[in-house]
Structure 1
Amino acid sequence: MRIATYNIEWMNSLFDEGGALLNDDGWSGRHGVTRSDQIVALTRVFRAMDADAIMIIEAPDQGRNRNTVAALETFAVHAGLRARRAVIGFANNTQQEIALLYDPDQISARHDPQSHDMVPSFDQTFSIDLDIDATEDQVVFSKPPLELLIETKGRAQLRMIGAHLKSKAPFGATTRDEVLRISIANRRKQLAQAIWLRARIQRHLGEGTALMVMGDLNDGPGLDEYENLFGRSSVEIILGQGDQALLDPHARQGLQRRLGATPTTSRFWIRQEKRFLQALLDYIMVSPDLAARDPRWRIWHPLDDPECWADGALRDALVAASDHFPVTLDIDLDSPI
């Protein structure tokens, strides 16, 4: 079975308010890419992946006049995908939802949010002392993680959590000191969200639940100067340590090789410096019991993956489709876990 995570830049701009595809020459949310070109590119990428389930980060908006599930299922029909059913969790106000597109002939998936002890549901508020001042701060997710209960055709049951953690830019800052203060506060909130997510992970692992945590954590080893200030990145917090650590070989490689080459899953144009920045942002982390099933990870990077590079049409599609590249996990889930 193939599981994927894919951050699709401004997928929402490809649909009208009725959920129909805007398959025309208007500009998409990607610089210099038309809507029809992005749709063609995404269609090629999704068909090449042929995944049983895709955790879509920045999925189309859910709101009074928008429907994430309808939009994704419309795209699946247009692209001729077997992953043609969609599910969403708690909607957010960013026009960038978290949703799963999956093959209903292979798995069933339902939103199943959890809440326990002092760790509330992800649409609620989490209390934590962020700055050791004996006063609890109230933390919320701008994009609540998607918690899913999954059952495969082979009767294997597991949980998936799709996440999009993000440290906001220092909006409103006009001086260097304000930029520093707001940036540190935003990073502190992101780490608090990671602690909240890890607490949920810890509960599942303690109960012996098979688990996948995937998505865009927008944080990682060596990504910026604030990591040294706080000591650990969100990735390290979510992975955990010891016998209840999650496994993602790309994350582990990045953490072990801070000064060397690391895998990357995204490619951004830095306008001021007139160059591209590549970063490792997207992950599929699995619990120890799933890691024992000999899973195989792959980053569909058009410049680094030999098969993607050799297929010119797919290579170009990956570049046009998004500023992130898919990550897939091939794993045997034919038998109960």
Structure 2
Amino acid sequence: MTTLKITTVNGEWMNDWFTPDAQPAAFKPTFSRDGEQGITAEAAGRLAKMISDIDADIIALVEAPSRAAELALFVNEYLSVDGTATYDFVQGDSGGSQKLALLFKPDRVTAALTSSTDAAPLIEPWLADVDGDGDLNEYAFTRNPLCCTADVDGARLEVVVAHLKSNFINQGRAMWQDPARRPEFIRAALRNRRRIANEAMHIRRAMEQRMDADPDSAFVVLGDLNDGPGQDYFEEMYLAHNVTDILVGSPYQPERLFGHAQADVAEDQRFSAVFDDFVTEEPQRHVLLDHILLSPALMNGGSPLSKVPGSGRLEHDAWAAQIAADGSARDERASDHRPASVSLAYA
């Protein structure tokens, strides 16, 4: 039995490291993020070392640079052995300066973009009420999911890389702490979460269609969902739902439930990001934003590929190994997210 390791990695604004799109693709010696200067080689080297230490066969990369030529520079300079790149890649064309990409080891996996016809149910705009005003309007993903098809020794695996709408609100802390502006912040927060929830629902519906066509289809949905298990303040107090529950499916159709790989991780280690929550005044809040969801066929043996029991993990050690000083500066860490992984077995 052979295993295939799949990981999702957040590159944390890799686009900062490169020249503007109007210029030939090249690394900048230094970059700026949050008003601080960083050394590009330090940040890129730490990200590459973390990726190499994890040693996955397939990597979903979110917050990848804006151009394929830039990602090629990163792979060729930082992810190569004796001049040969360890990974090939497919990059999406949606997302502005935060693209989505799929890296894969070409000696183990062949991957390509899913045909536009097959991807259309997932990426085409749809009707939704994202403002809570009772009106349906056309809505589209902030970043279209990257849909790929991978071949693993003749076994087909569909991969959907997602980076859902951000919860970020400009000047949010100041708005929340100002009683006169707090209602404005709440409305913006709810609008963002409705958008995230609608994007999750659309992915779920597309995957339902895929299972209708082939109940034994093998697919994985992974990436930064900008939401974790349980409810945050706004989901609990206003919306009464979260995003990952929408994606996983209904318990009334247990045969259609997705497997959540990170459920294998001990509860106190089940987080990928840490931040100070100014809404709940919770310092160093631990949240699982990065997820790997597996189709039923990968969980119940309906596919030639199947989840290795207990293999879901969060790569805390590989992440921590790349922290310098306190890791607060961008070039002192590989990323602000811990990667998530799972392994699949095949004959």
Q: TM-score range by the shorter chain?
A: 0.7 to 0.9
Q: Which residue of 2 aligns with 1:184?
A: 190
Could you tell which deviates more after superposition, 105-114 or 4-13? 105-114
Q: Which residue of 1 aligns with 2:259?
A: 247
Residue type matched to 1:178 in 2?
A: E
Q: Which residue of 2 aligns with 1:159?
A: 158
Q: SS of the residue aligned with 2:313?
A: strand
**Residue among 195, 215, 220 paired with 1:212:** 220
What aligned pairs does 1:1-337 form with structure 2 within 5 A after superposition?
A: 1-16=4-19, 17-22=23-28, 24=29, 26-27=30-31, 29=33, 33-61=38-66, 67-68=67-68, 70-81=69-80, 83-93=86-96, 95-112=97-114, 120-122=121-123, 124-129=124-129, 135-152=135-152, 154-171=153-170, 175-206=181-212, 207=214, 208-222=216-230, 224-228=232-236, 229-241=238-250, 242-250=254-262, 261=268, 263-268=270-275, 275-292=283-300, 293-295=306-308, 296-302=311-317, 308=318, 313-314=321-322, 316=324, 320-333=333-346, 335=347
Residue type matched to 1:238 in 2?
A: L
What is the distance in 2 between the residues matched to 1:72 and 1:236?
A: 33
Residues 141 and 165, structure 2, Cα contact 8 Å, conserved in 1: no
Aligned-pair CA distance for 1:232: 2.0
In structure 2, the CA distance between the partners of 1:220 and 1:289, relative to structure 1 (3 Å rule), is same
| 1:53-104 per-position Cα deviation (integer Å, ceiling 9, x unaligned) | 111000001xxxxx23x222221221244542111223223x1011111112
In structure 2, the CA distance between the partners of 1:316 and 1:269, relative to structure 1 (3 Å rule), is farther
| 1:14-40 per-position Cα deviation (integer Å, ceiling 9, x unaligned) | 222433333x3x245476742221122
Residue type matched to 1:6 in 2?
A: V
In structure 2, the CA distance between the partners of 1:129 and 1:39, relative to structure 1 (3 Å rule), is closer
The structure with the largest strand share of the pair is 2
What is the distance in 1 between the residues matched to 2:129 and 2:263?
A: 27
Aligned-pair CA distance for 1:269: 5.7
What is the distance in 2 between the residues matched to 1:315 and 1:130?
A: 39
What is the distance in 2 between the residues matched to 1:132 and 1:271?
A: 25
Q: SS of the residue aligned with 2:142?
A: coil
Superposition RMSD in Å: 3.1
Q: Which residue of 2 aligns with 1:64?
A: none
In structure 2, the CA distance between the partners of 1:34 and 1:177, relative to structure 1 (3 Å rule), is same
What is the distance in 2 between the residues matched to 1:75 and 1:2?
A: 21
What is the distance in 2 between the residues matched to 1:326 and 1:224?
A: 21
Residue type matched to 1:299 in 2?
A: L
What is the distance in 2 between the residues matched to 1:270 and 1:28?
A: 24
Residues 160 and 211, structure 1, Cα contact 8 Å, conserved in 2: yes
What is the distance in 1 between the residues matched to 2:117 and 2:50?
A: 36
Task: Compute the TM-score of the two structures, normalised by the length of structure 2.
Answer: 0.78
Residue type matched to 2:314 in 1?
A: I
| 1:117-153 per-position Cα deviation (integer Å, ceiling 9, x unaligned) | xx8441x32113457876322221111111111111x
What is the distance in 2 between the residues matched to 1:60 and 1:132?
A: 33
Structure 2: where are the runs of 5+ without partners? Answer: 176-180, 301-305
Residues 149 and 159, structure 1, Cα contact 8 Å, conserved in 2: yes
What is the distance in 2 between the residues matched to 1:140 and 1:75?
A: 30
Q: SS of the residue aligned with 1:290?
A: helix
Aligned-pair CA distance for 1:324: 0.5
In structure 2, the CA distance between the partners of 1:4 and 1:40, relative to structure 1 (3 Å rule), is same
Task: Compute the TM-score of the two structures, normalised by the length of structure 1.
Answer: 0.81
What is the distance in 1 between the residues matched to 2:245 and 2:106?
A: 33
| 1:151-175 per-position Cα deviation (integer Å, ceiling 9, x unaligned) | 11x1010100000112443448861
Q: How many residues align?
A: 310
Residue type matched to 1:75 in 2?
A: F
Q: SS of the residue aligned with 2:316?
A: coil
Could you tell which deviates more after superposition, 36-45 or 191-200? 36-45
What is the distance in 2 between the residues matched to 1:84 and 1:78?
A: 11
